[in-house]
Amino acid sequence: MELEIDHIGIAVRNVEDMVQTYCKVLGIKPEDIERETVEEHRVKTALIPLGQSRIELLEPIDSEGAIAKFIDQRGEGIHHLAIGVRDIKAVIGALKEKSVPLIDAEPRIGVGGTKVAFMHPKVTKALLEIVEK
C-alpha cells in the first residue's frame, strides 16, 4: 500500500479571508489557489499547494454539515488529515478486514471529483480521510 499525505483539512469560518492570510504567510500567489464548492459535504473549499501536498481550507455553506458542527463545538482549526492511496476500494476492504471503524463504508465524491472515505477517529485519535489519487 503506497501512502502519502494528500492534504490537511482546516475548518475556517471564512475561506476567502483565510486564502489571503495563507497567501501572505506562505508567500503563495492567489492565482495558484483552486476553489470549489462541494455540496455533498456542505463546504466551500480552497486548495493551497504545498509541493505534492495541499492545505484544504473548508468553510461551511450552512449550519448542517460536519464542518459547521466542528466549528461550533471546537472552533476553527485542523479538522482532518488526508492520506492519498492508489485504490480506495482495496484500502476500504483492507480496513474492514481489520475491523477499523469507518464513517464511510463506501467511497463518496470529494474535492476535485476524487473518491474519498473517512475513518472513525476513535482508533487513530485524529480524523483520517483516504483519497484515491
* DSSP-derived 3-state class of residue 84: strand
Stretch that binds Zn ion, among 6-14, 20-28, 29-37, 84-92 (CB under 5 A): 6-14
Q: How far apart are CA 40 and CA 75, in angstroms?
A: 22
Cα separation, 79 vs 76, in Å, equals: 8
How far, in Å, CA of 103 to CA of 59, rounded? 21
Q: What residues from 18 to 37 belong to the interface with Zn ion (CB under 5 A)?
A: none
The interface region with Zn ion, picked from 2-10, 25-33, 39-47, 59-67 by CB under 5 A, is 2-10
24/77 with CB nearer Zn ion: 77
State which residue has the least CB distance to Zn ion.
9
Q: Per CB under 5 A, does 82 bind Zn ion? A: yes
Q: Which is nearer to Zn ion, 66 or 95 (CB)?
A: 66
Of 99 and 119, CB closest to Zn ion: 119
Per-residue b or e along 83-114, where b marks 16 or more CB atoms closer than 10 Å to that residue's CB:
bbbeebeebbeebeeeeeeeebeebeebbeeb
Span near Zn ion by CB under 5 A; candidates 22-30, 34-42, 75-83, 100-108: 75-83
Q: Fill in the amino acid letter for 63.
A: S
Cell output for 12: 475556517
Binding of Zn ion at residue 9 (CB under 5 A)?
yes
Which residues make up the interface to Zn ion (CB under 5 A)?
A: 9, 56, 82, 129
